[in-house]
């Protein structure tokens, strides 16, 4: 049993070691360099984010905004959904399902803070 565990550890270590050294091969280093250059280009070409303002009464799609954001998301439905997501995340964390608990807790926090997030989210137009 111990020999099997040691053998598995050695093969896992050798796989990690192989991946590490494979990064320095010319073909792989070109790919990594291209990925870093693409990421840098995306960062440098990002535009400014413009703040979203709530529509005034009587303007285009105000009714949709009023029902969806003001009454539902910022109202009782959004609060109950946020608390429910937080409780579901706590249950998943207790059951050791951390990868399911993290999105539940983050989603619940977003729903509970929706009032502040609605006006601070930017549009990238």
51 beta partners: 122
pLDDT tens digits, residue range 85-95? 999 999 999 99
| Cβ 93 vs Cβ 101: under 8 Å | yes
Enumerate the domain spans of the chain. 2-44, 50-123
pLDDT tens digits, residue range 38-58? 888 888 877 666 666 777 788
Q: What is the DSSP letter of 71?
A: I
Tell me: pLDDT of 108 over 90. yes
| Cβ 123 vs Cβ 50: under 8 Å | yes
pLDDT tens digits, residue range 5-23? 656 655 665 666 666 666 6
Q: What sign does the CA torsion over 110, 116, 119, 123 have?
A: negative
- Percentage above 70 pLDDT, the chain: 68
Please give the full DSSP string across 64-119, using - where no structure is assigned: HHIIIIIIIISSHHHHHHHHHHHHHHHHHHHTT-HHHHHHHHHHHHHHHTHHHHHH
Identify which of 76, 84, 77, 75 has the alpha carbon closest to the alpha carbon of residue 109.
84
Whole-model pTM?
0.52
């Amino acid at each position: 049993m111990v020999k099997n565990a040691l053998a598995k550890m050695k093969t896992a270590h050798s796989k990690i070691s192989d991946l590490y050294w494979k990064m320095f091969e010319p073909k792989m280093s070109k790919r990594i360099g291209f990925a870093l250059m693409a990421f840098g280009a995306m960062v440098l070409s990002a535009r400014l984010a413009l703040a979203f303002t709530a529509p005034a009464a009587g303007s285009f799609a105000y009714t949709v905004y009023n029902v969806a954001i003001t009454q539902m998301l910022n109202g009782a439905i959004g609060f109950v959904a946020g608390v429910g997501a937080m409780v579901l995340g706590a249950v998943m964390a207790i059951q050791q399902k951390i990868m399911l608990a993290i999105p539940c807790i983050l989603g619940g926090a977003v729903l509970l803070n929706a009032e502040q997030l609605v006006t601070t989210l930017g549009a990238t137009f």
